[in-house]
Amino acid sequence: MGAAQGGFVGLLVWRMRHFQVEEADQFRLLAEENRIKIRLIPPARGQIFDRNGLVVAENVPSYRIMIEQEEVVDVDDLIERLGRIVNLDPEEIERAREEMRRTRIHPVTLADRVTWDEVSRVAVNAPALPGVHPEVGLSRRYPMLEEYAHLVGYVGPVSDYDLERIEAPDQLLRIPRFQIGKVGLEQRREDMLRGKAGTKRVEQNAAGRVIRELNRREGEPGKDIQITTDSHLQSYIHARLNGESAAVVVMDCETGDVLSTVSAPGFDPNLFVRGISVADYKALLDNKYRPLPNKSVQGIYPPGSTFKMITALAALENGTSVPDDTVYCPGHLEVSDRRFHCWKRAGHGNVDLGKSLQESCDVYYYEMALRTGIEKISEMARRLGLGVQHDLPMTSVARGLVPDRDWKRETRGEEWRIGDSVNASIGQGYVLSSPLQLAVMTARLATGRSVTPRLIKSIDGVETPTGHGEDLGLNENNLRQIRRAMYDVVNTRRGTAYGSRIITDGMRMAGKTGTSQVRNITTAERAAGVRRNEDLPWERRDHALYVNYAPYDNPKIAVAVIVEHGGGGSTAAAPIARDVTLQALYGEDPPLDAYPTKDRARIKELQARLREARPDYRAGARDRA
């Protein structure tokens, strides 16, 4: 018995020694893990500024109430007690419960955007609320609201979809409601804007209450990005497009800087930052003017007569035509037993290159297509920036479509027909382009260089390369012929854009109107008389387009405008482009003597109305949220 008792005591002593000496470090670590917590410190997201240094995406302090599940015995009881101290949103609580079911290692937000008074009440009652602690963080805010919604985009809480499409996601992304870029520049430059997390070690008592912070390692804030747009011009264009479903792109002809890109109508990106409500999202989806897509780079449309410069230049460059060649237009052209009509039923008579662009004769370009062929026309279109997906950090930048024989054979299993070339010559048929591509085309025609659009001006103060571009290698005399014809479109009485001319010397513009059909006109309707756009439902009216550059003799900016279902380019798009061009050239509301006398009273009233509708960012009125 004595030997057995002695052996048992010896065994106990040996086990005690094993735990207290040999395993001491392990148990000390476990104790430390219970007492000390390591928490990630989310980095400050990089801010976004316009070319003049105005903030378009910023970080603002946000108070929230967090819960550490590991430190809570009864979550339901704790939430009930917390609800007696502060007001808790039932939807917010349900969302928090869902997040708690998905993770137990990260704090979960119970209440967001709480007041300082509510934070104080939680802090005072902390001993009775183990696992609950208030926290101050940063949240994204877009002070310019809808004016930059499509360009900058917005951030939102990380979703399961976000985690699935990211290979080896950062631990930051697993923090509930951590915000990442969802669309626009915020999404395309997430890697730069997010930054890197820091860490802090905190000591807590048995109840889970933080006693002190032991140490902290700061993370790296995201990079600040300066974009090329001018908020003053952006604001003006947004106000000018009020009530339209439209898009405008303004480019600097020298550097390729995108001075403005506006898609109307817009939306408030702040609604998406913490999760948009079902009612608000449904209202955006049900709007027939489609406020969510970015029409300026994502929307693709038949370019209509704005494509005619490409057809003409292809014919000139390939020697199938010279500027003095004339074509007789009786109002139509017979091709393979099919009649292709000119927009002017009675025809234009004999037209050369200059008159064909000035009066937008379709038959002239039908003939140029027959002489030149679709391959040469498509090659010239790509050379001038159509059918190319320009590398801009925006969501869903469209490639558009410049068709040729191979494309039709591969995608439709059909051979190219001569009628397809005729349709393509005037920007109809299969041809599709975005307003951004039309602005690039216009800048390249104006300069003869491969001007490339640039949206990011600098990153953390370091300038990015411009899009000045190299010489396109086109015959300068041919380019001069096209430019002169575009000048006549606007500045001669028979020009289709004469009503939207600029009369100030040194500011005159060269441009081209366009109208693209969205419906087929039957033979019966043509015989009875084509119905006017005003007599059609809105969604069946033609799209209105206009492109221009200015000044004519010293190109500084290129502009592209599309008004969805606006009717004629000369009546709907050209007046907008003229106003935008003058605003961009002057940098402020232009003098009334830049406009024709008959327009000045209307323009004066328009300018006054637009000044009231938009903030003056130059006066420091930046915070509109």
Report percent pLDDT > 70 for the chain: 90
| Residue range 231-281+295-522+531-619, CATH number | 3.40.710.10
DSSP 619: G
Q: Is 120 a catalytic residue?
A: no
Mean pLDDT over 464-491 rounds to 96
Q: Which residue has the higher pLDDT, 432 or 96?
A: 432
Residue 258 has pLDDT above 80, yes or no: yes
Tell me, what amino acid is at 200? Answer: K
Q: In b/e form, how buried is each residue of 436-462, taking b as 16+ CB within 10 angstroms?
A: bbbbbbbbbbbbbbbbbbbbbbbeeee
pLDDT (tens digit, 9 = 90+) per residue, 288-307?
A: 999 999 999 999 999 999 99
Q: Do 222 and 46 form a contact (C-beta atoms < 8 A)? A: yes
Q: What percent of the chain has pLDDT over 90?
A: 61
The residue ranges of DSSP E strands in 466-599, in sequence order, are 510-516, 543-550, 557-563
In which order are the strands placed within the sheet that holds 36-41? Answer: 36-41, 198-204, 210-217
Rounded to two decimals, the pTM is: 0.86
pLDDT recorded at residue 101: 73
- pLDDT digit string, tens, across residues 350-385: 999 999 999 999 999 999 999 999 999 999 999 999
| Complete DSSP assignment for 268-284 | -GGGGTT---HHHHHHH
| More reliable by pLDDT, 527 or 36 | 36
Distance between CA atoms of 595 and 329, rounded to whole angstroms?
34
Distance of CA 81 to the CA centre of its chain: 45
Instruction: Report pLDDT for 209.
Output: 56
Residue 329 has pLDDT above 80, yes or no: yes
The single residue listed with the structure tokens 């041919």 is: 478
Instruction: Confirm if 133 and 210 have CB atoms less than 8 A apart.
Output: yes
For residue 240, the model assigns a pLDDT of 95
Kindly report, residue by residue over 415-431, the tens digit of the pLDDT: 999 999 999 999 999 99
pLDDT at 625 (0 to 100): 40
Q: What is the pLDDT of residue 27?
A: 55
Asked if residue 523 has pLDDT above 70, the reply is no
Write out pLDDT tens, residues 479-500: 999 999 999 999 999 999 999 9
**What pLDDT band is residue 623 in, cutting at 50, 70 and 90?**
very low
Tell me what pLDDT residue 31 has.
52
| Range in 61-65, 199-203, 436-440 with the lowest mean pLDDT | 199-203
Task: Give the tens place of pLDDT for each residue, 49-90.
Answer: 999 999 999 998 888 887 777 667 777 877 788 888 888 777
User: Is pLDDT at 622 greater than 50 in this prediction?
Assistant: no
Fold agreement (37-204+212-227, 231-281+295-522+531-619): no
Least confident of 115-119, 230-234, 293-297: 115-119
Q: 42 preceded by cis ω (within 30°)?
A: no
Task: Check 139, 245, 305, 321 and give the catalytic one.
Answer: 305
Residue 79: per-residue pLDDT: 79
Q: Which residue has tokens 């430019």?
A: 483
The whole-angstrom separation of Cα 577 and Cα 559 is 7
H or E element at residue 249: strand 246-252
* 207 has a pLDDT exceeding 60: no
Alpha-carbon distance 445 to 136, whole Å?
A: 53
pLDDT at residue number 519: 67
pLDDT at residue 32 greater than cutoff 60: no
Residue 70 is predicted with a pLDDT of 66
Query: What is the pLDDT, as a whole number, of residue 12?
Result: 86
Q: Would you list the domain boundaries of the chain?
A: 37-204+212-227, 231-281+295-522+531-619
On the question of pLDDT at 144 being above 60, the answer is: yes
CATH node for 37-204+212-227: 3.90.1310.10
Hey, what's the torsion of the CAs at 471, 472, 476, 479, to 10 degrees? -130
Mean pLDDT of the chain: 87
Higher pLDDT, 67 or 256: 256
Q: What's the confidence (pLDDT) of residue 384? A: 97
Report pLDDT for 405: 95
